[in-house]
Structure 1
Amino acid sequence: MLLGLDHLVIAVTDPDAAAAHLEASVGLACTGGGRHPAWGTFNRLAWLGDTYIELIGVFDRSLAPNGTVSLAVLDALDTSHTGLVSYAVASDDLDADVARLREGGSPLGDVELRSRTRPDGEVVRWRATFPPTLGPSEPPFVIEHELVGAEWGDRAREVRAELAHPLGGPARILAIELPVADIEIAAGAYARTVGIEFPDMDPRGATARVGSQAIRLAHGAPLWNPAVVEIEAIGFTPAPASREIDALGVRWRVRA
């Protein structure tokens, strides 16, 4: 079953500098990250509960074509496009989900075992399946994490659910809004590829829910109109003012 948004993949030239900018401009702190030695990429992570923002860059161009996500990041950076390049939805049974979707004609690829080495040496592992093409207007990939260790063990998940960000306290992602050239075509691709249906559709956009979060498709040009990430500040006293910030090629809407 699909549980919700897992993470947003944001291509940046320098993840450390991008992390500092995200904290200064939006108020979200990056507290983790690491390297993908096989794909020549490295990242910083901002956790919002079990959904995270991945700021990812390339340290070895020769290795980036080896991975689906790393190639998408390299292509984006080569065209001077920083911002959302893809995102993942989380599954609690990836094998069953892939089998079900493929029976319905989904073009999802085979499940792949992947890993990342943290700065402390711990190896974080997950499995993922990818659509034929990644992009901000394309369906997401699907991921299932190995629920152990300093990032995905029970205690780690409890701690980050209460993580206080510089904007004033814990936060969570409510929704993402993605620009697409044709609402109906994009919604059809989502349904066919990952089984996400958009029951609320009109010429201006379409909305689907995955778990407690929303995915909105809005009419626009993916390379010109930024993706929108809507964040809720949880339990703030006094409540901060709602605001909208453009940073790292993304529009961030922070709601009290």
Structure 2
Amino acid sequence: MLSQIDHVILATADFEAASQVWGERLGFRLTDPGGHAAYGTRNRAVPFPKGYVELITIVEPEVAARSPLGQALAAAIAGPERWFGFALASSDIEADVAALRAGGSSATEIMR
């Protein structure tokens, strides 16, 4: 069962500028940069008590191009910075994703 929004994802072509806005200008604490090697991305989080905002960009376009998630992110960062997606917390993720897709959602692959 879906229990909460785990995090929301902000796609940005200019990772350093987005980090500066969220950290220095807005005053939020950011985690150190990390990434998803399998997707060619770089990210960092803006933590909140019950979730976080994930700032994400592509650093290895050839790796990102190999997955639907990477392809969608590449399309997103080709335009202006925007909200890209969200992640949900679930006690039965496979069943919840199947139900979301059956209802017309374009839920992407399950990531743990």
Query: TM-score scaled by structure 1?
Result: 0.38
Q: 1:27 to 1:143 in 2, by over 3 A?
A: farther
2:88 is aligned to 89
Quote the offset at 1:106 in angstroms: 3.8
Structure 2 unaligned residues grouped into runs of 5+: none
Quote the offset at 1:57 in angstroms: 0.8
Identity rate, percent: 29
Structure 1 unaligned residues grouped into runs of 5+: 108-130, 133-139, 146-256
In 2, the alpha carbon distance for the partners of 1:45 and 1:69 equals 18
Between Structure 1 and Structure 2, which shows a larger proportion of strand residues?
1
2:8 is aligned to 8
Structure 1 stretches of 4+ with a deviation exceeding 4 A read 140-145
1:105 aligns with 2:112: no
| Local SS of the residue matching 2:86 | strand
How many residue pairs align between the two structures? 112
In 2, the alpha carbon distance for the partners of 1:15 and 1:144 equals 22
Higher relative contact order (CA 8 A, sep 6+): 2
- Cα offsets for 1:15-50 (capped at 9, x unmatched): 233212112232222114412122111111111124
1:18 is aligned to 18
Counterpart residue type for residue 48 of structure 1: F
Q: Which has the larger radius of gyration?
A: 1
Between Structure 1 and Structure 2, which shows a larger proportion of helix residues?
2
In 1, the alpha carbon distance for the partners of 2:9 and 2:36 equals 14
Quote the offset at 1:83 in angstroms: 1.6
RMSD of Structure 2 on Structure 1 (CA): 2.7
| Local SS of the residue matching 2:29 | coil
| 1:1-256 → structure 2 map (5 Å cutoff) | 1-78=1-78, 80-98=79-97, 101=99, 105-106=102-103, 131-132=105-106, 145=112
